[in-house]
Amino acid sequence: MTAEKAERQDAAEAVSEKENEMDVAEVFQFMNRESLAALTTVGDNGQPQAAVMGFAVTREREIIFGTVKTSRKYANSKKNPRVAWVIGCTTEVAVQHEGSARELEEEELARYQQTYFAKFTDGPERLTWPGITYFVVRPKWVRYCDYNPGTRRIEEKAF
C-alpha cells in the first residue's frame, strides 16, 4: 500500500474529534455550490437503486428534487422514504446525506419550489411535464468529508 493510500484509509476511518461541532453553514455552502448528486433509493427487491439528480438545498440542509411519477425513484420513495445522497464527486470534498423523502403538496410545494427554481431557472418550464412532482428530504445524518492535504477532516452530525 502506498503512503498516500494509507493516509486516505486513515482519514476515512478517523471521524473528526469535532464531530459535534460540524460547521453546518460550511456544509450548506458546499451543498449549495453543487447542482448534481447521486440519489439512492431502495427498490421492491430491497436492492439499492441510484440516479444522478439535480437538486437544491435549504439552509437547514433539506434537499429538494423533482421527478416524474413514472420513475423508479418516485415509486421507491413513496414505499420506503429512506434515501441517501452523495454530493460532490469531482473533488476531494463530499457530503453524505441520509434522510426521509416526502412528496410536497400545495403551499409547502410552492415554498420549496422557490428554492428549487432559484437554482434551476428552467424548472418552471418542466411544470408542463406529465406527472412532475417534487420531494423534500430532511436530513437524519450528514457526513462532511474533506480529504485534501492540510484540511483533511471528517465530521458527522445526526439530526
Q: Write down the mean pLDDT value for the chain.
A: 90
Q: DSSP assignment, residue 16?
A: -
Element containing residue 142 per DSSP (H, E): strand 132-146
Q: Is the pLDDT of residue 17 over 80?
A: no
Write the CATH number for 42: 2.30.110.10
C-alpha cell at 123: 424548472
C-alpha cell at 112: 420549496
d(CA 88, CA 79): 27
Task: Judge whether 57 and 64 are in contact, CB under 8 Å.
Answer: yes
> Smallest Cα–Cα separation from 54: which of 72, 71, 37, 75?
37
pLDDT digits (tens, 9 = 90+) for 52-89: 999 999 999 999 999 999 999 999 999 999 999 999 98
Cβ-based neighbours of 145, under 8 Å, separated by 6 or more: 12, 93, 94, 95, 96, 153, 154
> Smallest Cα–Cα separation from 137: which of 67, 84, 72?
84
C-alpha cell at 145: 468529508
Q: How confident is the model at residue 12 (pLDDT cuts 50, 70, 90)?
A: very low
Q: What per-residue confidence (pLDDT) applies to 21?
A: 72
C-alpha cell at 130: 406529465
C-alpha cell at 85: 445522497
Q: What per-residue confidence (pLDDT) applies to 89?
A: 82
Q: DSSP assignment, residue 129?
A: S
d(CA 67, CA 39): 12
Rounded mean pLDDT, 19-23:
68
Could you tell me the residue range of the domain that residue 51 belongs to? Answer: 3-158
Among 2-6, 15-19, 46-50, 69-73, name the one with the lowest average pLDDT: 15-19
Q: What per-residue confidence (pLDDT) applies to 2?
A: 57
pLDDT digits (tens, 9 = 90+) for 89-138: 889 999 999 999 999 999 999 999 999 999 999 999 999 999 999 999 99
Secondary structure of residue 124 in the 3-state scheme? helix
Q: What per-residue confidence (pLDDT) applies to 90?
A: 87
Number of domains in the chain: 1
